[in-house]
Structure 1
Amino acid sequence: MLIVDAIATLLGGALLLRFWMQAIRVRPPASVAQFTFQLSDWLVRPLRRIVPGVGGYDWASLIGAFLIVLLATSVLLLAGLSPQMVALAALQRFLSWILYGFMALLIVEAIFSWVNPHAPLAPFVRALNEPLLRPIRRTVPLVGNLDLSLLVAVILLQIAQILLGMLFSGHF
């Protein structure tokens, strides 16, 4: 189960990153693009024939990520859960992956800002986080010269994760 979960998380993360990069129109560095596309093209290309991009979004990548989590979660069918329960568990895991992915990006940005703000990947990570941080920066003022928007965003994402757990806790 651990190996299935690790592989599913890696593939799902690549698919979600691919969706987010296109949704906010961020051009990734060549190394990130190569890794992401090589890891996910086998699923995205066939899905695009069925699910075209609409509204400028790469729906095939997002649906592919959900299919990966659904497949990984379907192992729970062996434990005797009903297909409906497996679908709910997959939805919870999918939403958790999204929240944890955003948290990871924010933590990476914080580490870059402390260790090496001029690292080659730092502008890319900042661009990925900007849609999350922009509304927070409008409401949370600088304290001295310190931007607390990253901390506020991580706390809000953790609250969302707790609420998600509470929402689905009665179903399992």
Structure 2
Amino acid sequence: MLIVNTIAGLLGAVLLLRFWMQAIRVRPPSSVAQFTFQLSDWLVRPLRRIVPGVGGFDWASLIGAFLIVFLATSVMFIAGVSWQVVLLMAFQRFLEWILYGFMAMLVIEAIFSWVNPHAPLAPFIRALNEPLLRPIRRVVPLVGNLDLSLLVALILLQIAQQVLAMVFGGR
């Protein structure tokens, strides 16, 4: 199960990153783009024949991420569980992956800001986080020239996780 979850988590993260980069129109550094596209093209390209991009969104990447989580969930609960339960559990895990992905990007940005704000990937990570942080920055002022929007965003994402756990019956 560990191997299945690890592989599914990596593929799901790459597919969600691919969706997010295209949704907010962030051009990744070439190394990130090459890694992302090489790891996910095998699934996204065939899905694009079935599910074209609409409204500027790469739906094939998003649906591909959901298919990965659904397959991983199916493998974990193969015996004695109805497909409706597996589908619901997969949907919960899919939403958890999205929340964890946003949290990871925020933590990476915080680390860059402390360790090396001029790192080559720092502008890319900032661009990925900007749509999350912009509305918070409008509400939360700087405190002593310190931007607390990252902290507020992390807290809000944790609250969203708790709500998700309550909605789906918690674990």
TM-score, with length taken from structure 1: 0.97
Where does residue 108 of structure 1 map in the other structure?
108
The runs of 5 or more residues in structure 1 that have no matched partner are none
Matches of 1:16 and 1:90, distance apart in 2:
15
Corresponding residue number in structure 2 for 1:54 = 54
C-alpha distance in 1 between matches for 2:82 and 2:144: 54
**How far is 1:77 from its partner?**
3.5
Partner of residue 39, structure 2: 39
- In 2, Cα distance between equivalents of 1:79 and 1:149: 45
Greater shift in the superposed pair: 10-19 or 79-88:
79-88
* Percent pairwise identity: 82
**2:11 aligned residue:** 11
Moved over 6 A (4+): none
- Equivalent-residue separation in structure 2 for 1:82 and 1:157 (angstroms): 30
1:70-95 deviations in whole A, cap 9, x for unaligned? 00000244242111110000000000
What RMSD over aligned residues (CA atoms) do the two structures have, in Å?
Answer: 1.0
Cα distance in 2, alignment partners of residues 141 and 112 from structure 1: 21
Letter in 1 for 2:155: I
Amino acid in the other structure paired with 2:23:
A
Distance 2:161 2:105 in 1: 16
When the two structures are aligned, how many residues end up with a matched partner? 171
Partner residue, 1:63: 63
Deviation at 1:99, TM superposition (A): 0.2
Structure 2: which 5+ residue stretches go unaligned? none
